[in-house]
Amino acid sequence: MTAFFEILMSIQWFPGHMTSARRNAAETMAVTDVVIEVVDARLPEASTNPLVHELRRQRQRPCLKVLNKSDLADPVATREWIAWYDRQPGIRAVAVSSKNAGEVACLPGLCQGLATHRNDNAKPLRMMIMGIPNVGKSTLMNALVKRKIAKVGDEPAVTKSQQSHSLGARRWITDTPGLMWPKIEYDSDGYMLAASHAIGRNAIIDEEVAVFLADLLLARYPERLAERYGFAVEGLDGVAVVEGVARRRALRGRGGEPDLEKASQAFLQDYRDGKLGRISLETPETRQAMLSRADAARKVTEQTVIGTPNQD
């Protein structure tokens, strides 16, 4: 286990407010017609909380999957993700940038299409916004109700309690706090979430996350690294990229050696701010490949355990 994951597991990963948030979400789900699940368009599946699916399934509620921050994501990958989600039962997907209020205006209509029976004063359409911290739920909510009701912040878990708001006579929307889940199953999801700042500052080791991100960009968007930092990236690995950033930005420790911690923070901030261009950390294809690798590794582990002679 890497230091990053040791820290991830040692922090109080499912704190009290997450447990009560989950309970409240389950109660609200009972009186909801359509779930608006906000995910980060750059990492839609890694930023999907399996708890949302579970709560939805228990009540058989349809879902509008909102791929938010699409202004930061690779448009080709986003199109692939929308087609992928639209093939799944009970799900419709749309890409928006909630910072652009005009783009979210279509969402209530799309939700209405998923619950056509809820369309009069006696049976208003009841929507519920869900998603992990920092994917843009508050920004989306503010854009939908056209005023500042939810506090927007780049530190996770800013929205603390549920609030309902009317969107005209026949539509209601309920805001829920960012909901994490107890165990992140795949290491790469943890890194992607950390790179995109869904996992808070105190829970991550910037250097490990930066090296992961650099390796991913070397494989998928090498030209963006070269453009932004002005050095050739052929033959480099993630560590060398972070060292290169330190040199380029003249970030040095006391002994004059490259300050990898500062370089990692600068590099991660560039990615978060979109300074490396529109980047998607996963596509349906890379997701499938990752799941297949994880599955194969799990089978090998199971066979090894079964095949190990009893030591007693």
Q: Which residues bind ligand G4P (CB under 6 A)?
A: 68-69, 71-72, 97-99, 131, 133-139, 152-154, 158-159, 178
Residue 275 is classified by DSSP as T
Report, in Å, the least distance between residue 207 CB and ligand G4P: 22
Q: Smallest distance from the beta carbon of 226 to ligand G4P, in angstroms?
A: 24
CB of 119 to ligand G4P, least distance (A): 28
Q: How far apart are CA 263 and CA 251, in angstroms?
A: 7
CB nearer ligand G4P, residue 99 or residue 252: 99
Pick between residue 99 and residue 228 the one whose CB is nearest to ligand G4P: 99
Return d(Cα 130, Cα 65) in angstroms, integer. 10
d(CA 146, CA 144): 5
Q: How far is the CB of 177 from ligand G4P (least distance, A)?
A: 9
Instruction: Report how far apart, in Å, the C-alpha atoms of 165 and of each of 128, 144, 171, 174, 176 are.
Output: 10, 10, 9, 6, 12
Nearer to ligand G4P, 125 or 135 (CB): 135
Beta strands 63-68 and 171-175: pairing type? unpaired
CA–CA separation, 69 vs 264, rounded Å? 22
Taking the complex as a whole, how short is the minimal distance between the CB of residue 108 and ligand G4P, in angstroms?
18
Residue whose CB is less far from ligand G4P, 25 or 233 = 25
Task: Considering the complex, state which of residue 200 and residue 284 has its C-beta at the smaller distance from ligand G4P.
Answer: 200
**Other Cβ atoms closer than 10 A to 159:** 21
Compare residues 75 and 253 and give the one whose CB is closer to ligand G4P.
Answer: 75
Least distance (Å) between residue 293 CB and ligand G4P? 30
- Look-up of token digits 């932004």: 228
Other C-beta atoms lying within 10 Å of the C-beta of residue 76: 11
Q: Residue 253 phi/psi, 5° resolution?
A: -80, -175
**Which pair of structure tokens corresponds to residue 80?**
């692939």
User: Where on the phi/psi map is residue 37: left (φ > 0), alpha (ψ -120 to 50), or beta?
Assistant: beta
* Shortest Å, Cβ 304 to ligand G4P: 41
Please, which residue, 49 or 159, has the CB nearer to ligand G4P?
Answer: 159
